[in-house]
Amino acid sequence: MTRVLAIDLGGTNLRSAVHAGDILAMKMASREPAPASLDAFVARIRALSDAAGGIEALGIAIPGLAEGTICRWVPNLSYLDGVDLEALFPGLTIALGNDAQIALLAEAAEGAARGVSDAILLAIGTGIGSALLYNGTLVPNTELGHLEIDGKEAERLGLVTFCAPREDVLPRALAIAARLAGGSQAAIRATKKSLNNWMRMAGPVFDNSLALEMLCFMGADAKEGVDALRNKRQPSFPSARMPS
């Protein structure tokens, strides 16, 4: 069985564990401040690997965007931006991913999201991260704050009606416009007016919703909810408790 050094690298802390075949038997091997530089990061990973012994692979979760074995953008650890971990650690098989995505993958395998088809994970630490499980599939690049979904993925998820290659955008737009021009102009004008009015009303509602959501995140109920989820218990929200 391949021995894997598992690293959870956050903006503030680094945690490590060793996987040797049984995911439920994994225990945290270390918890320490996140390395402050690329040299310190490399040195620490090598030291942890040597201490564990027989490590053949490195699995690492980062608080940012990953592509293959390359750290594309890590806001709180900018020394990793553009770094290819495969080049840094030759001889080790590298598995790299966003921390919230990997956390949701773990929850789907053995945790709170096991057996469900749709789930959202919020990772609240040095920053706020998120991941999305949709129809049993982990949707890539849905990290809160730097969401990346291309046209084909948006079409597959039903977020847009269709997508088209860049060179086909104008011809398809003109074809749609031609069909609309042949339709009932009174109905089209009424529809546009209704949609425009809806957007004028919805804009302030969305802004207010986001502001209230942020206030809720900062309150005692949010802390209680996160603690209950971590400890797999029913929450007891302070705002719902009867006064004594």
For the segment 30-63, what is each residue's pLDDT rounded down to a tens digit?
999 999 999 999 999 999 999 999 999 999 999 8
- Specify whether the CB–CB gap between 133 and 120 falls below 8 A: yes
List strand residue ranges (DSSP E) for 68-134, in order. 70-73, 83-84, 93-98, 119-124, 128-134
Q: Which tokens go with 15?
A: 């945690």
Clarify whether residues 2 and 49 are in a common domain.
yes
DSSP state of 159: S
SS3 5: strand
Rounded Cα distance between 120 and 141, Å, is: 13
Query: Which of 71-85, 176-190, 209-223 shows the lowest mean pLDDT across its residues?
Result: 209-223
Which of 106, 138, 163 marks a domain boundary?
A: 163
pLDDT of 167: 93
Clarify whether residues 151 and 197 are in a common domain.
no
Clarify whether residues 135 and 34 are in a common domain.
yes
Clarify whether residues 218 and 103 are in a common domain.
no
Number of domains in the chain: 2
Which of 112, 142, 163 marks a domain boundary?
A: 163
Clarify whether residues 49 and 145 are in a common domain.
yes
Clarify whether residues 34 and 101 are in a common domain.
yes
Mean pLDDT of 116-122: 87
Encode burial over 52-78: b for 16+ CB neighbours within 10 A, e otherwise.
Answer: beebeebbbbbbbbbeebbbbebebbe
Clarify whether residues 47 and 146 are in a common domain.
yes
| Residue 79 CB contacts under 8 Å (≥ 6 apart), including other chains | 37, 38, 41
Clarify whether residues 198 and 159 are in a common domain.
no
Supply the pTM of this predicted model.
Answer: 0.58
Rounded Cα distance between 204 and 201, Å, is: 6
pLDDT of 143: 63
Clarify whether residues 115 and 59 are in a common domain.
yes
Domain that holds residue 128: 1-163
Which of 163, 186, 221 marks a domain boundary?
A: 163
Cα 201 to Cα 34, 167, 194, 208, 212, distances in angstroms: 45, 35, 11, 12, 17
List strand residue ranges (DSSP E) for the chain, in order. 4-9, 13-19, 28-33, 57-62, 65-67, 70-73, 83-84, 93-98, 119-124, 128-134, 137-139
Q: How many CB atoms lie within 10 A of CB 35?
A: 18
Clarify whether residues 29 and 56 are in a common domain.
yes
Residue 96 sits in a domain whose CATH number is 3.30.420.40
pLDDT of 175: 93
Q: How confident is the model at residue 151 (pLDDT cuts 50, 70, 90)?
A: confident
Clarify whether residues 103 and 139 are in a common domain.
yes
Clarify whether residues 156 and 168 are in a common domain.
no
The percent of residues above 90 in pLDDT, for the chain, comes to 43
pLDDT of 110: 86
Q: How many CB atoms lie within 10 A of CB 142?
A: 24
